[in-house]
Amino acid sequence: MKHILTLPEGEVFSPEKTFNCGQCFRFDDIGDVFQGVVKGDVVTFPKKQPKGRVEYHSVNGCDLTEYLDLETRYARINKSLALDGTASAVIENAIEISSGLRILKQDFWEALCSFIISQNNNIPRIKKNVASISNAYGKPIPNTDFYEFPTPEALLEAGEEGLASCRLGFRTKYILDACRKMLSGEISEKSLSLSNEEAKEQLMQIHGVGPKVASCVLLYGAHRLSEVPVDVWMKKIFAKYFGGEYCDLGEYGGVLQQYLFFRERFIIEGHKV
């Protein structure tokens, strides 16, 4: 089924920048398209998008307006970021280079597990791990050969022995502890406290979840656009352009973090996905 969504005036969407920036792990670059699993469906985005619109195909007809966060005006966010005088030339360049990159509104549980898996890992292997547990324990998606991301119940029932075939290594125990805490109600998207710091403290009750993973879950799984995950790339960026290991990037720091990361890794240093 073909879908055409209208972007607000002045907005841009780039599948390549959005799906390749390390925020999600169920999309693959296949020639002229990106194919992925979202909201219990299989969707395909042409890399070349029509101006002012978003085009995609879905097998079972899912609406991705919310997932793509099409209501958020990134043009306005970008203007507020450009006004920041700290490293302003770098920020302005990052905004220009990253045009079309959007922070996805991902499922909280899937984001939590995915970023637990991301620890000491690289993107191809993270994708492989996420696909492995989905294929083994997720529900089949009708009319496709793909599977949904598994529920906490399904993963907990599989246990360490069942998950061994998915080759998660030390992360297996972390995933199972996350399952227990989700099922007990200790952790849930709704139960997270209002402030980012309190929310991170709740997430870090999960065995193996530290500040960086907790920040990723808040930004990518709870859509808290002020949250800034600090990994080796961001430490390098802060030291190189901002004169230290960390500085407050403001109300939309998570968006700016993605722009700076995209610029540094893929443009300045020329890394491939």
Helices 74-82, 88-97: crossing angle, 10 deg rounding? 160
Q: Residue 85: is it exposed, middle or buried by C-beta count within 10 angstroms (0-12/13-18/19+)? A: exposed
pLDDT at position 85: 65
Chain position carrying tokens 């995950």: 229
Residue 266: inside a domain, yes or no? no
pLDDT at position 27: 97
Residue 121: inside a domain, yes or no? yes
Chain position carrying tokens 């022995």: 161
Which string of DSSP letters, residue by residue, matches 14-54? -HHHHHTSSS-SSEEEETTEEEEEETTEEEEEESSPPTTEE
Residue 264: inside a domain, yes or no? no
Residue ending a domain, among 204, 221, 238, is: 221
Distances (CA, A) of 119 to 83, 103, 169: 34, 20, 11
Give the CATH number for residue 69. 3.30.310.40
Same domain, 161 and 217: yes
Q: Compute the distance between CA of residue 162 and CA of residue 176 in angstroms, rounded to an integer.
A: 11
Same domain, 120 and 167: yes
Residue 99: inside a domain, yes or no? no
Same domain, 11 and 56: yes
Same domain, 6 and 70: yes
| Domains held by the chain: number | 2
Residue ending a domain, among 221, 241, 264, is: 221
Same domain, 169 and 68: no
pLDDT at position 18: 96
Distances (CA, A) of 238 to 85, 95, 163, 218, 248: 15, 16, 38, 21, 10
Residue 154: inside a domain, yes or no? yes
Q: Which residues of 127-149 are buried (b: 16+ CB within 10 A; e: fewer)?
A: bebbbbbbebbbeebeeeebbbb
Same domain, 72 and 114: no
pLDDT at position 245: 73
Those residues whose C-beta lies under 8 Å from the C-beta of residue 226, and which sit 6 or more positions away, are 196, 250, 251, 252, 253, 254
Q: Which pTM does this prediction carry? A: 0.94
pLDDT at position 194: 79
Q: Which amino acid is at 106?
A: Q
Residue ending a domain, among 203, 221, 239, is: 221
Q: What length is written for the chain?
A: 273
Those residues whose C-beta lies under 8 Å from the C-beta of residue 39, and which sit 6 or more positions away, are 62, 64, 67, 107
Same domain, 37 and 119: no
Same domain, 129 and 211: yes
Q: Compute the distance between CA of residue 74 and CA of residue 6 in angstroms, rounded to an integer.
A: 15
Residue 213: inside a domain, yes or no? yes
Q: Compute the distance between CA of residue 63 and CA of residue 41 in angstroms, rounded to an integer.
A: 10
Residue 258: inside a domain, yes or no? no
Same domain, 44 and 125: no
Neighbours of 251 (CB within 10 A): 13
pLDDT at position 273: 52
- Active site members: 212
Helices 232-241, 253-262: crossing angle, 10 deg rounding? 90
Same domain, 72 and 117: no
pLDDT at position 247: 82
Residue 62: inside a domain, yes or no? yes
Domain that holds residue 187: 108-221
Same domain, 142 and 209: yes
Same domain, 115 and 59: no
**pLDDT string in tens for the chain (273-residue length):** 999 999 999 999 999 999 999 999 999 999 999 999 999 999 999 999 999 999 999 999 999 999 999 999 999 999 988 766 667 889 999 999 999 999 999 999 999 999 999 999 999 999 999 999 999 999 999 999 999 999 999 999 999 999 999 999 999 999 999 999 999 999 998 888 879 999 999 999 999 999 999 999 999 999 999 999 999 999 999 999 988 878 888 899 999 999 999 999 888 887 665
Return the structure tokens found at 35: 């194919």
Give the CATH number for residue 201. 1.10.340.30
